Every structure is written in C-alpha cells, then in structure tokens.
Structure 1
Amino acid sequence: MAPTVEYQWLIDAADDWITGRPGTVVLVFLLVTAGFALGLPAVSTESGTESFSEDVPEEQALEAVTEQFSAPFEADEGSTQLIQRGENVLSKRGLLRMLTVQERLVDDPGMRVVGTESAARLVARELDPSATTLEAEIDAVERATPGQIRTAVGTLAAESPRFTALLSDDFNPTAGAASATVGIVTHEVPGGLDAGTGQGSASPLESIQVEARYIADAAGGDVVVFGSGIVAVEFGTVIGDSLLIVVPAAVALIALFLVIAYRDLVDLLLGLVGLGTTIVWTFGFMGFAGIAFSQILIAVPPLLLAVGIDFGIHTINRYREERLTEDDPERAMRTATDQLLVAFFIVTATTVIGFSSNLVSGLLPIREFGLVAAVGITFTFLVFGVYLPALKLYTDALRDRYPIPTFSQTPIGSEGSRLGGVLAVGVIVAKRVPVAFLLVALVAAGGAGYYAVGIDTTFSQEQFLPPEETADFYDVLPEPFRPGDYTITATINYLEDTFESSEDDEVVVYVEAPMERDTALEAIWRAGENPPETFVRDGRHARETSIVTIVRAYRTQDPEFDALVARNDRNANGVPDQNLDQVYDHLLASPARERTLEYLSEDRRSARVVYAVKGDRTDAAITADARIVAERYRMGATATGNIVVFEAISDIIFASALLSLGLALAGTAVFLLFVYWVLEGRASLGLANLAPIVVTVAFVGGSMRYLGFSLNAFTATVLAMTIGLGIDYSVHLTHRYIDERRLQPTVLDALSRSVYGTGGALLGSVLTTVFGIGVLVLSVFPAIGDFGLLTALSVIYAFLSSLLVLPAALVVWERVFGEMLPPESPAVTNS
C-alpha cells in the first residue's frame, strides 16, 4: 500500500538548505540565537509551594482566613519576624536587645515600618503605661529592677494571651523566663501582598528584610530576621546553586561521552555548540513568555542536554555511516538527513505530546514545566535536525581548506563488532520465540502496571526546602560551585519546635454566612458534635476554638455578659441563639475584642473555626473528616488549613498524573498510527512501535512503588515524560528497520542490520541521557534528585524495551499484517 500523503518535498527542501547553503543556515541560526539571548535577562526565579496552590479552592479559603483573622504569631508577607534566642529573653538584657533592634528598624526610613510588636514592648508598657514609643519603653526597662520585670511578666502571663503566644513553649511565668521570643515588625508594602500556605515566593520585602538583617546584626545579640523576603532570597540562591552544580556536571558528563561517541575534537565542539544553542533558545523563550524559573524547571536544562546529545549522536553517526560508501559529503549528508529528519520529527512530536500532556494539570508549575519542556524539545529538533548537519558540512569544508586535525570518523557499533553482537540479543529472541516473548513482556507489564496503582501521592513544604545540612560531598567542590549555607529549613524547624503552634495538628473551617443570623452560633457548635475519628475530642464534642468558645469563656469573666448570653440562650446550652448582634457588640467593646476578631470578621459575615486533630493520623484521613464536618454546617463552609490544602494538592497531582499519562499514551498512539499511515501507508506499524513504550511505562510505575518513590510535584511528570523520552529509541529503530526492510531479503536480516546500524548510536545516546539527567541527584533539592533518578531509570527501561521487545513486536506485526514489501521487489519470506 503506497503512502497516502506526499511529504518528501518537505524533506527535499530542508536538504537543499542544509547541503546546498550550509553557511546561510549557520548564519540564520546564529542571528536567531542572538535574538533569544535578549530574553535571558528577563528570566526570574520563583520558589516554594505558593505557585502550586494558586488555583486550589482550599488555598483560596485559607488566604481569606489569613486576610480576615489575624493571629498574634502568624506573619504575613507584609511583616518581618525577629527571632530572639538566649538564656532568658525576658531578662532586662534580653528585653533591651529586642527593643533596641526594633527601635533601629523604626528609625530607618528604608524599613517603611508602620508598627512593631514584641513581648518586650508589652513588658515595657506594663512597667510604665505612659510609655508609648520605643525610646520610652527602653527607658522603662532600664529603670526597672529584676523583681519589677518578673512581676510585669507574671501579670501579662495571666491576662494577655498575645504575650504568651510570642514566647517559646518553655516559658515559665513564675520565674519570668523563656529561652526564645518572636517580635513582629510590620512594613508598608506597595500594592499589598497575600499570604497563604506558600513559602518562597519573591516579594517587595526582599530588599527590606535583607537590610533588616544587617541592622539586627549591628545591634548585637542573637536576633534573627526571618520572613517571606528572606525565604525568597534564599530560595533564589538555592536554585542558582543547584543550576551551577547540575548544568556543568551534565555538560562535563555529556562531553565525556561525546568524546567516546565522536572521538573527534571538532565534532565534540559542534555537539556542545548545539547544546548551548538549545539552552539559550529555551531560556530566552522563558524570558519573553514571562515564565519564572522554579525548582521543578531545574530538570529542564539536563533534560534538553540529554535529548539534544541523543539527536547529535544519531546525526553524526548516521552521516559517518554514509561516508563509508559515499565520497561526496553533501550526498552523504542528504542521505542521512533524509532518514533522520523524519525520525527526529516523529521523536519530537511524540516527545512534545508527552510533555504537553502536563498542560491539563490543575497545578500551574506543572503546566509551565510541560510547556517549557515541549518548546525546548521543539528547539532541539530544529537545532540538531537542521543547524548541526549544516554546521557539520560547513566545518568539514573548512577542514578541506585548512589544517584542522581530524580524528576517528568511524560510526559506533558497526556490523561484526562485539558491541553489535550484544545489542542483537533481541533479534535472536525474535527469531526463535517472538510471539511467546511478546506475550510474556505484555503480561509482565500488566502485572507491573497493576502493582503501580498503589503508589503514594504526597505534597509537603519539605519537598521544596533545601536540606538543613548539605551533604559532605559538596564540601569538595571548588568555588563558585560549592553551595552556601542555608538557614530556611533550620529556622522553620526551630519555630515549629520552640513555639506553641498547632499548625500541623489542626484544621480550619472557613464559614461564609451572616453571623448575626439567630442560628449561626448554634450551627457552628452542632457541627462539632460527635466528631470524626481523626478529631481530638472534649467529651462528645470536638476540641475547637471559635467565636462560640470565646463567648463561653468570656461569660466566666464578665457577669454582665453572662447575663446577656443567658437571656438569649433559648435552649440553655451556653450558646446564644438570638440577638447575636448585641452579643457581638458587647464582646467587641470588651477586653476580649482582639481575641474575638481572630474568629469573627469585623463585618460579621464570616467566621473561623479551628479544630484540633490527631497528629498520628494521615493527612488524607484528616482531610476527609474535615470535609465531613464542613458539610454539617447549614451555611457556606470550606475545610482548609495547611493539612487540607496540601492534601488537596496531592489529589490534584494524582489526578493530573493519571490524566497526563492517559493523554500522552492516547496522543502518542494516534500520532504514530497517523504518521506511519502517512509515511508508509501502514498505520498498524504504529502499534508495534508503541509496544515497547507501554512496557516501559508499566515497569517505571512498578519500580516507583517498589523503590519507595511517591508521586509528588516533581515525580508526577515522570510517567508521561517516559513516553516522550522513551519513544525516541523505538522510533529510531523502527524507522531504520523500514529502510532496511526494503533492502534486505528477510525480516530478520532487516532487524539485524537495523540493530547493528542504530543500536550503537542508541547505546551512546542512552548513556548520555542517563548520566546527563542523572546529575540531577547533585541538586540541593532532594526531590529534584529523585526526579533525576526516576527519569534515568525510565530511559534505561525504554532502551532495553526497544532492543528486546521491539524486534519481537515487528516480527509479530509482519506475521499479522503482512510483510512490508519494497515497491520494486518480489515477495520475500519472513525467515
């Protein structure tokens, strides 16, 4: 059956430019590279979990909670935390240290300070109620005796929850001692910023908080400046350090394999030029498109380097094969590109399908990863399919004119070599038991795929944090490759361990309804009755903190309020159910005002309810129970909090991974059926081409579960990406087989010639790809290292499947669908 669509004219046009005008092609690509280079300065960095949660409803609810209900210890992106550590931060010396740092920050116009808060300021005002400035508060502390300070601390401990919230867990009110405290400095930030679960997003606070560090250091004492600006700066440093380690390591390893594969200095340099061009184009595109460089995009440069060098090895090796029998370099290159441009196009299209399937993800960073990787692979096709062949011809012409040294120009894995014999194992199997072997491979893949269903899905802030302590092997790296010291993780862990915070053991229900409605408080209280198993109980009720608990607690402190509640509590359960506006008016005019506003919005149209949950339960179980409780409300209510948000993102990751994998498989299958119908008039050939990749994906998934890897923000792309990367090997081998099938008398002869001719290049490319992507284990981010290991494993599986499964699949295909006969040849047999 003849090809249905004529496409050769496109290949001929490309060949004419590559072989007829190589100098012009080189010049055009250099000019385009210069254009993309203009976009490089516009590439920014973005880090942390915030970008992953932007479109998640639970995160939007948490942002609303953060905006409307300000807790004393929660820092938003308009604030800086001053973490003070010492023997006793409530001693006169400790109090003066904190007050001095805060005063210096206030006095600096660049700090744009609009307010400060600290335990030290509260103590100073307790000592001298007339002190209204930091200078006066410093004087008050300096005049006070240790006994007076202890008395003030004891009074505040009994009367001010805000005071104790700013002190470490070891606070002893009797002794007036604590080992740590947190001060809050609020800055005027242009435009306003939101706060949610995310860490590490860049903000206008960067320069403010970096300068605040210098001011705090100059003031003396152990006061650490911390906030979202510091996190953003350090995350940017970590990304830069990772790139500075990973990219040179990838280039060095790839260069080593290029030396082995090319065995020629000029060809080695040509390959490196092609790689550099691809990276510049991709980063330039990111700059022009306004895509920030995030942790997940650290994987893109090694990925493009590995795939690019794969294309480069095939180009040079195929050209060298032709030069063995063809003296004219232009005709040799035309023959090589005739085949390779088609193969490269198929590989590129299927790889783009694999990466583009991530565009359906519900998470923005994964969508951006899919887009950048797909565009980068397209650039790789243009650079190594057009630019490198033209550059090779151009430099070879220069070799003829100038004394440029030439080393080995023989192809890899020639027929009769030991390497060729090893690579032909799959052909031997296909010759003896093709059907049985293919069935065993597919059944094994089915088992691996079924086993892979149990892969865990996780999402946590820890996956985005640099390690608290970097590995020892980083110490042997010379400058500037040696990473710096990172404080983010250590500081966050210190805050969690030192200060009373139930952030990891609580969930929040955000209520959106008119809270003056008579049934509002009753609805909140009833929702906590007979709580689910993961909730902490107080008797038969969930342990909660809400406007209801504020009402109940304040009744014991104010007889007038107690009487007001009793008059409006029709069922005598301690929860008022009428005239709630009067109840709220009394609370907001009382000393309980600040506490009330932590759980009831000032416009009285929303409320926050915090439930304690059991820390030893899984996030999935806690989230499911939180949503059950939220559904009990007879008004609009959303379960949120860090646990719920991260679990929601985990669900999205899992759904996105499955959807992306399904789309990648379906899209690749449809494309292969179409392209082989166009090229050869035999769409069914795409099925044989797809068999190795199905086996590969199944075994990658099974290996992920067996090795203990989970689907997370980074590894979720691996399965779909396996299709894009893995199809490379089966496409090259299948396309070579098509050409050889028209020249060889039998199917097995064609397979043998294909493996001998292409297998060596495949082996070279798999080594460069594995080690080029494997260098991601050197990244400062452990999650990126896991991504690198899994991607390298998927490439190995794809290579082995192509050499072992594809020959059997092609033999079976020939038996089922009939031989692919050359148009001018008589029938031949299968063996």
Structure 2
Amino acid sequence: MDPQRFVDVLDTWIVDRPGQVVLLFLVISGLFVLGLGGGGTDSGTDQFTEDVPAEQALQEVNDNFERITFGDDSGTTQLIQSGTNVLSKPELLRMLEAQKRLSDNPDLKVEGTTSVARSVARTLEPSADSIEDEIRAVERSTPGEIDRAVRTAVTENPGLQALLSEDYNARSASASATIGTVSHRLPGGTNAGPGTSGSSPLTAIQLQAEYIVSSVGGDITVFGSGITSEELGNVINDSLGLVIPAALALILLFLIVAYRDPVDLLLGLIALGMAMLWTFGFMGLAGIAFSQLLIAIPPLLLAVGIDFGIHAINRYREERVGDVSVREAMRIATDQLVIAFFIVTGTTVLGFAANLSSGLSSIRELGIVAAVGIVFTFFIFGVFLPATKVYADRWRERLGVPEFGSAALGSERSLLGRVLPVGVRIARTAPRVFLLLVVVSTVVMGQYGAGVDSRFTQDDFLPPEEPPAYLDYVPEPFRPGDYTVTETTNFLERNFQTGEEDTTTVYVEGPLHRDYALEALWRAGDDPPSSFVDDDGHARETSIVTVIREYADRNPEFATLVARNDRNDNGIPDDNLRTIYAALLDSPVRDRALNYITDDYTSARIVYSVEADASQEAVTDDTRAVADRVRFEATATGGVIVLKAVSDVIGESAFRSLVIALFAAAAFLVLVYATLEGRPSLGLVNVLPIAVTVAALASTMRFLDIPFNVLTGTSLSIAIGLGIDYSAHLLHRFVEEYDESTDVDAALLATVRGTGGALTGSMLTTVSGLGVLWLAISPILGQFGLLIALSVLYSYLASILVLPTTLVLWDRYVSTGPGRDRSTPVDPDSTAD
C-alpha cells in the first residue's frame, strides 16, 4: 500500500476543489452544532470515587445503616459565631434569635437546633421548653448570672466545650467563637460519600439561611459540611472566566506575530474554533458530560491546533517564493505536511488513548475525548485550513489584495534564524559527550520524578483562603466571586478542638447469626495497629457488640439474657444470637442497633477510632489489616479509605498510561518510518526527546510539590502527546531535507530554521496562552496550566537541542542513506542552505 496515493488524493481536493472542501466542512460543523450541550455538566467530585471498591462499600454502609437510623435523609448547618466574647449576654441572644428565626421558617425544614446559648438559657431557666422561653430567660438575667450559668452548663455537660473555641476561659466565662447547629429534614436525599455530587436541597436551604441569619446582626457565618458541587462549579466557572480572556488575549497577540497577516490570522482562528465545535459537539452526541477533568480538552486542542496552523501557513510560505503559484506551493506544502500531521496525530492519539487503561471512568472519558479531538484537529488543519488558504489567496489574486508579512518564521536572515541552530552547533562540536550528558540527566530526573506523590482531597478544588493580590486589579466583569469555605474551614481548625481521633470503618457481610459471629467481630480489634486508638490492648470501637454491652448495663433483663448465652463471661454472647438480636431490636435502642447491623443479620459495620495525626496511608493499611482478621467477608471503607484508594488509582493510572503511551508511540513511529522511509531506526530517534520531556516534567512536579491528582495525573501522558508533536515535525522535515542532500548538517540547518521557526511561534503562543491558567483561583486548574505550559516548553527545548545530536549520531552509525560529506561541513552561521 502506497501512502502517497492517499496524500495525492487529498492534495487534489485541496488545491483543485477548495470550495467544495470548505462547504463539506461547514456542513459537518452544522451537524456537530446539534450536539452542543447534549452531554450536560458534572461538577461533583463523586465522579472520581464511584469506580473505587471502597466507595461502593461505603455506599452500602450508608444505604444499610445511615438511612435506617434517620428515616428521611438529614442535613446539618453550622452557625459559626465569632466576636470578643460570644458568651456575653448580647451574643447569646443573637445566637438564640438566629436559631429561632431559622426554626420558624417552614421552608428550612428544621428538625432541631443545639448551641451553647440554648444550654446556658436552660441552666438559667430549667423549665424553658422553647427557644422563646430561653430568650426570655437570658433577657431577664444579669451578666453575673449568665457567667455563672455558662460555667455550670459547661461543667455539667463537658461535650459543650467542643462547641467553644480553644480559648474558652471558665474563670471569665468567655470565648472568641462558638458553633451552633441546625438539623434539617431532607426527603430529597444527600450524598454521604467523601466527594460532592449533584445538586442537593441542603444547598438551597443554606443559601436561604444565610439571608435570615444576616438579619440578626453580629458575626455569624452559615456553613455546611464543606463545599458543594454547585460551589465547585462556581469556582471552576469563575476561574475560567478570569483566565480565558487573558489566555485569548495572549494567544491572539502571539498569533498576530506568528501569522503577520489578517487573513491568515482569521483562517487560523476559524480552524481553532471549528476544532472546539467538533469536539464538544461529539461530546454532546456521545452523551459525555463536561466535568472538571475535561477542562483539559480546550488547552490540548489549542496547543495542537496552534501548532498545526502555524506549521501549515509557514510551510506554504516557504514554498510560495518567486513565481511559484498558489496551487503549486500548497501542493508541495500539503504533500509534506499531511504525512507530518499524520505522524503527530497518530502518536498523540496513542498518548491520550493510554488513559483508557485507568481505573477511573472520568480519566477514561478524557482519553476518549482527547483522542477524538486530536483526530478532528488533524482533518481541520490538514485539509480544511489549506483549502481555505488556497481559496483566500486565489480571491486575493483576483481582487489584487496585498499580503502582509508573508515571509516564513525563522528565515536565515532573521534573528530567530541565527539563534535556532544552537542545537546543530552542539551536534557538530561534541555529539557523543552531549548525548551522554542528556541520557544521564534524563535518568537522574526520572529517578527523582518517580517520587511524585499522588493525592485526592477536596482541598485540590478549593480556592485559597486569601485571594491573590492580582485580583484587586481585575475589572469587575471578570473578577471572581467571594469564596469563604477555605477561610471558614481553616478558622474551625485553628479555633476549635477537632478531637484527638478520627474514625475508619470495616464493613462486614455474612451470616452474622452464627454462634461465633460476635466474638469474631470483637477479636478483630485485639492488639490494634499503631494508627488505631488503643484502649487496654483493644481498638476503641463502636459496633453491635458495644451496643449490646451498653444496653446490658442499663437493662437487667437483657443482661440476664446475654449472660445466659455468654460462655466465657466477657459480655459477648456466643449462643442464640438470633434471640439476642431480636431482643435488641425490640428494645428502646433499636435505632442505635440498626446503625451497626441490618435487621436480617447479614451485614454489619464496625467503626474504629484512629489517631487524628495518622496519615491516609497508615489508616488505610491498618484498616485493611484489621478487616483481614474478620472471619467473614470484610471491606475497609470510610472517607479516608476512599480518598486514599482514589489517590492510589490516580498514581497507578499515571504510571500505567505513561508506560503504555511510550511503548505504543515508539512502536507506531518505528512502523511509520519503516513503511514511509525504510528507516525504522528513526522511530527510536524520535523517542529520546520525549523521554527527556517526561523526566523533566516529573522532576519539576516533585520539586514544586505538585502531586498527581485527578487533573495533573494525566500530565505525563499529555506531555508525551505534545512532546511527540514537536519532535515529529522536526524529524519529518529532516527526512525530507536529508533525502535531498548529501550533508546531514545542511539538512539539520534547513530543518531547524524552517520547521524550527514555526515551532518557536507555536511554543510561545501555547506557553503564554495556557500558562495563564496559573492565575486561576482553583488550585487544580493553576497546577494543570503550569504543567501543560512546562511540557510544551520542555518539548520544544528537547526537540531543538537534543534531536540534532541524536540525528548526527544516527547518521554516523545507523543510517544506510546518503549520509553527509564529512570533508565539507556546513557552517550553521552561513547564509546559504
């Protein structure tokens, strides 16, 4: 099969029938318009946890236990009050009034409220049975009576101290902050997982609560359990609203410099817009929702599209010299560019498609959409753009419209043309020494970069506590909104006792009516691991066993039943467990029991206390170890476990996709160059700059403490895709020049000045335009923008500096082609090619 036949067919359509080509692409664009928005949006973080087994187990826990306890789903709103002394009479009245107004509003579905203010009021007036009574009790009391009531309430109920800031002073009965809670009945349901999901009725309730509480006065902040999916969506949208205008302005500026012709600039922008339209139209037709992760798609399409566009126009300009016609110049340009674009597209698609190996469906969707988008970009910039250029230039010739800045970038007389051959000079001077230095450096950077951490937390999506100073200079239409969630969570961590322990869960499934079941559940907590809280050699736990023991201490009749079926007198029944369970579920503690065992005795959960300073990794490993001790099927789960599991999947996906992308790209390049040029070794030559790029990017991530998360975890495979783009363009141009010359230096010089000039324009445009994402208020977007910009920069430098050396050595020791005449080396500084 001769690939040139297909290229010739495309050439014929482009140069002889440009109007028909343009019309065809416009019709296709109209079809993709129908798909815009069809996939919807998904701004929640639960999309990243839904494929993890630990999350599925946690969902079963929530389904089997949490919903049984509460009937309808419930939600909680916190009222965070701060001031000089929140326990003073005026501040206590403010908290009580805020809770009263919330309770009086039926739309808020308030089931109950708690606060230190209510406890103090009931201490002042024990007969108070409503918030109105409590308000009257505080209003009638003197400051001295209130101070005594505060001390009495906290002494009699030590749990209240958790609702007071750590600076609580019992002597002066003062504190700078306190937390009140409001519980709501939510028939619509909420998400109990560690991520955020779709729209929740609690969000609307809390927005209304903010307005009501603000009418009370004072410093009371309404706060939920964290950031919601709606807020996440707003953070992302505000970030994009801030950086997209800046990115477009920078991209437009550099495109003007690169194209230097208004018509060519317009054609390039139309092609970029068409690539976006096709890709997002495909997403809608395929039913793929736009999520945080797919924010990576526009930068990728811009990076590849800008590169393709500048190369297409620049290559055409190189041929359009003297009396060469539009038709002939474009035929020569596309004859060369279609093959180069095909090589770049094939390897880039493989790089992105490597993400299909991920264990997370959201990352797999990114791989699909990116691969399809790059294919669209190939056709648009490889066929549509050249055809429109031919059509436009013929129109120009007929009307006598002049061209502006039609010289190619990197021409030999330009400053850029004198700087670009630096890699050629190195290759001529000491190629073996330089290559050895590059290989050693790549290995060192790769080993260092292998230590990049993987992380998945909600903090990845939260804006910083202090808004960046540059936001003060952003005009109002583009200025992001105010986000207090980070400030509030940090305030809570700084001012309140978060407790000495957290919790983790083991979900157990099996015939729990067997005589040995309860003993087996209890023995799993013996000799607890280091991250678990140790109570005299046993893990501190809450389970169906602890419920049985607690109720036996309170009810003599039940205690007798337990003792009669307890063989070893340790308070844990060993016989007739069905009878024990039935008695428990027929008692006043039924709801509490159903929080730890299902009514068919087939599932249970054990909640263990863990040290607050224990790492995610330690808690996960220790919980899994304890789960393995249980004689039934047991799964380690809980928020910490799920987040760690997602982190592990992200890290594994990043490494797996990197390996797959490298090997697949290398195999593809070897096959292509063996088929097209009969030189398969050129495919391996193309891989070295890519390896340098990936190693440099990974080491930079570790140095800057940028972890693999749901967005940056794709950066290495993206670096491969973009890195291949630059090196493949240079290598393909080199092969063309090499076959026409007897001197490798001459071929390299023509390559770096011709294609290198286009690469420089593409690099500057892409790095500046996408690097501006660093200004995003969402940290995950800022990190991604920085990494994409660095990957493009590293790819460019590796291609310009490293590839010439590898090609010189390839020519010396591997090539069976014409080779170079070593007796007459070409001076890179000469003005003749």
The alignment's TM-score, normalised by the length of structure 1, stands at 0.88
Matches within 5 A, 1:717-736: 717-736=714-733
2:96 touches 2:118 (CA, 8 Å); kept in 1?
Answer: no
Note the C-alpha offset of 1:410.
Answer: 0.5
Where do 1:504-523 residues align within 5 Å? Answer: 505-523=502-520
Contact 2:463–2:778 (8 Å) recurs in 1: yes
Aligned counterpart, 1:335: 332
Matches within 5 A, 1:249-328: 249-328=246-325
More displaced stretch, 724-733 vs 796-805: 796-805
The DSSP-based 3-state class of the residue aligned with 1:663 is helix
Match of 2:20 in 1: 24
Aligned-residue offset at 1:691: 2.0
How far apart are residue 166 of structure 1 and its match?
8.4
Matched, 1:790 2:787: yes
Quote the residue 2:625 is aligned against.
628
Q: Distance in 2 between matches of 1:776 and 1:735?
A: 32
Tell me the amino acid that sits aligned with residue 187 of structure 2.
E
**Does structure 1 conserve the Cα–Cα contact (< 8 Å) formed by 2:69 and 2:591?**
no
Given that 2:97 and 2:216 are in contact with CA atoms closer than 8 Å, whether structure 1 keeps it comes out as no
Change (3 A) 1:627 1:417: same
Q: What secondary structure, in the 3-state scheme, does the structure 2 residue paired with 1:604 have?
A: coil
Change (3 A) 1:495 1:68: farther
Compare 511-520 and 348-357 and name the one that shifted more. Answer: 511-520
For 2:449 and 2:420, locate their aligned partners in 1 and report how far apart those are by CA, in whole Å.
29
Cα 1:512–1:154 change in 2 (3 A) is farther
Q: Distance in 1 between matches of 2:560 and 2:772?
A: 71
- The residue correspondences of 1:594-605 to structure 2 (distance < 5 A) are 594-605=591-602
Partner of 2:831: none
CA contact (8 A) 1:77 1:194 kept: no
Contact 2:304 2:725 in 1 (8 A): no
1:664 counterpart = 2:661: yes
> In 1, are the aligned partners of 2:499 and 2:612 still within 8 Å (CA)?
no
**Matched residue type, 2:77:** Q
RMSD: 3.7
Comparing 713-722 with 116-125, greater Cα deviation is found at 116-125
Query: Counterparts of 1:271 and 1:144 in 2: how far apart (Å)?
Result: 74
Select 1:429's aligned residue among 426, 430, 440: 426
Alignment: residue pair count? 811
> Does 2:392 align with 1:392?
no
Displacement of 1:44 in angstroms is 3.3
Q: Matches of 2:776 and 2:287 in 1, distance apart?
A: 24
**Counterparts of 1:637-648 in structure 2 under 5 Å?**
637-648=634-645
Mapped partners of 1:503, 1:375: distance in 2: 50
Deviation at 1:765, TM superposition (A): 1.2
Q: Is contact 2:103-2:110 (8 Å) kept?
A: no
Contact conserved, 1:631 with 1:637, CA < 8 A, in 2? yes
Aligned pairs for 1:647-796 within 5 A: 647-796=644-793
Report Cα offsets for 1:419-475 as digits up to 9, x if no partner.
Answer: 223221222232343334333322322222222222222221211222233212122
**Structure 1 residue 216: deviation in Å?**
5.6
Deviations 1:494-553 (A, max 9, x none): 566677766983211112233333222212221111111222211211222222233333
Task: Decide which moves more: 205-214 or 122-131.
Answer: 122-131
1:281-333 CA distance string (max 9 Å, x none): 22222222232222222232223212211111111111111112443111111
Tell me the secondary structure at the aligned position of residue 251 of structure 1.
Answer: helix
Are the aligned partners of 1:72 and 1:162 in contact in 2 as well (CA < 8 Å)? no
User: Contact 1:119–1:167 (CA<8 Å) still a contact in 2?
Assistant: no
Q: Which amino acid aligns with 2:484?
A: T
| Structure 1: stretches of 5+ with no match in the other structure | 822-826
Partner of 2:60: 64
Q: Choose the corresponding residue for 1:55, options 51, 56, 69.
A: 51
Residue 13 (1) aligns with residue 9 (2): yes
What SS class does the counterpart of residue 185 from structure 2 fall into?
A: strand
Structure 1 residue 654, shift from structure 2 partner: 1.4
Letter matched to residue 395 of structure 1: A
Asked if the contact 1:773–1:791 (Cα under 8 Å) also holds between the matched residues in 2, the reply is yes
Shift of 1:660: 0.1
Q: Which residue type is aligned with residue 85 of structure 1?
A: Q
Q: Which residue number corresponds to residue 824 of structure 1?
A: none
Mapped partners of 1:690, 1:774: distance in 2: 25
What pairs with 1:433-452 in structure 2 (closer than 5 Å)? 433-452=430-449
Give the Cα separation in 1 of the matches to 2:438 and 2:251. Answer: 32
Give, in angstroms, the shift of residue 769 of structure 1: 1.9
Query: Measured at CA, do residues 258 and 92 of structure 1 come closer, stay the same or move farther in structure 2, by a change above 3 Å?
Result: closer
Partner-residue secondary structure (3-state), 2:477? coil
User: Is the 1:114–1:188 Cα contact (8 Å) retained in structure 2?
Assistant: no
Which one-letter code corresponds to 1:63 in the other structure? Answer: Q
How far off is 1:358 after superposition?
0.9
The answer to whether residue 473 in structure 2 is matched with residue 476 in structure 1 is yes
Distance 1:457 1:599, change over 3 A: same
CA contact (8 A) 2:501 2:609 kept: no
Distance apart, 1:669 and its partner CA: 0.9
Change in CA separation of 1:228 and 1:529 when aligned onto 2, cut-off 3 Å: closer
Q: Give the secondary structure class of the aligned counterpart of 1:70.
A: helix
Q: Is the partner of 1:510 in helix, strand or coil?
A: strand
Structure 1 residues 120 and 282, CA gap change in structure 2 (3 angstroms): farther
1:71: Cα distance to partner?
9.5
Verify: 1:486 aligned to 2:483, yes or no.
yes
Q: Is the 8 A contact 1:128 1:137 kept in 2?
A: no
Q: Aligned to 2:748, what secondary structure does the other structure show? A: helix
| Residues 250, 305 of structure 1: 8 Å contact kept | no
CA distance change for structure 1 residues 530 and 314 in 2, over 3 Å: closer, same or farther?
same
1:510–1:606: 8 Å Cα contact kept in structure 2? yes
Preserved CA contact (<8 Å) 1:92 1:141? no
Distance 1:588 1:461 in 2: 38
Partner SS, residue 489 of structure 1: helix
Is the contact between residue 353 and residue 368 of structure 2 (CA under 8 Å) also seen in structure 1?
A: yes
Q: Give the AA of the match of 2:3.
A: Y
> Which secondary structure state, in structure 2, belongs to the residue aligned with residue 573 of structure 1?
coil
- Separation (CA, whole Å) in 2 of partners of 1:202 and 1:150: 43
Q: Which residue type is aligned with residue 185 of structure 2?
A: T
Query: Cα offset for 1:722?
Result: 1.1
Deviation at 1:270, TM superposition (A): 2.1
**CA 1:319/1:615 → structure 2, altered by over 3 Å: closer, same or farther?**
same
Once structures 1 and 2 are overlaid, which stretch shifts more, 61-70 or 192-201? 192-201
Equivalent position of 1:372 in the other structure? 369
CA shift in 2, pair 1:518/1:100, >3 Å:
farther
Query: CA distance change for structure 1 residues 336 and 441 in 2, over 3 Å: closer, same or farther?
Result: same
Q: Measured at CA, do residues 697 and 176 of structure 1 come closer, stay the same or move farther in structure 2, by a change above 3 Å?
A: closer
Aligned-partner Cα distance in 2 for 1:488–1:151: 35
Post-superposition shift, 1:384? 1.6
Q: Distance in 2 between matches of 1:77 and 1:13?
A: 64
User: 1:209-288 maps to which residues of 2 (within 5 A)?
Assistant: 210=207, 213-214=210-211, 231-288=228-285
Change in Cα spacing, 1:800 to 1:595, as seen in structure 2 (3 Å) is: same
Superposition TM-score, scaled by structure 2 size: 0.88
Gaps of 5+ in 2: 824-833
Q: Partners of 1:377 and 1:521 in 2: how far apart?
A: 58
Distance 2:467 2:372 in 1: 33
C-alpha distance in 1 between matches for 2:770 and 2:609: 44
How many angstroms apart in 2 are the aligned matches of 1:234 and 1:608? Answer: 32
2:530 aligned partner = 533
Task: Find the aligned partners of 1:657 and 1:261 in 2 and give their Cα distance.
Answer: 34
SS in 2 for 1:613: strand
Q: How far is 1:597 from its partner?
A: 3.4
Q: Give the percent of matched residue pairs that are identical in Structure 1 and Structure 2.
A: 52
The one-letter code matched in structure 1 to 2:659 is: G
Q: Distance in 2 between matches of 1:31 and 1:161?
A: 73
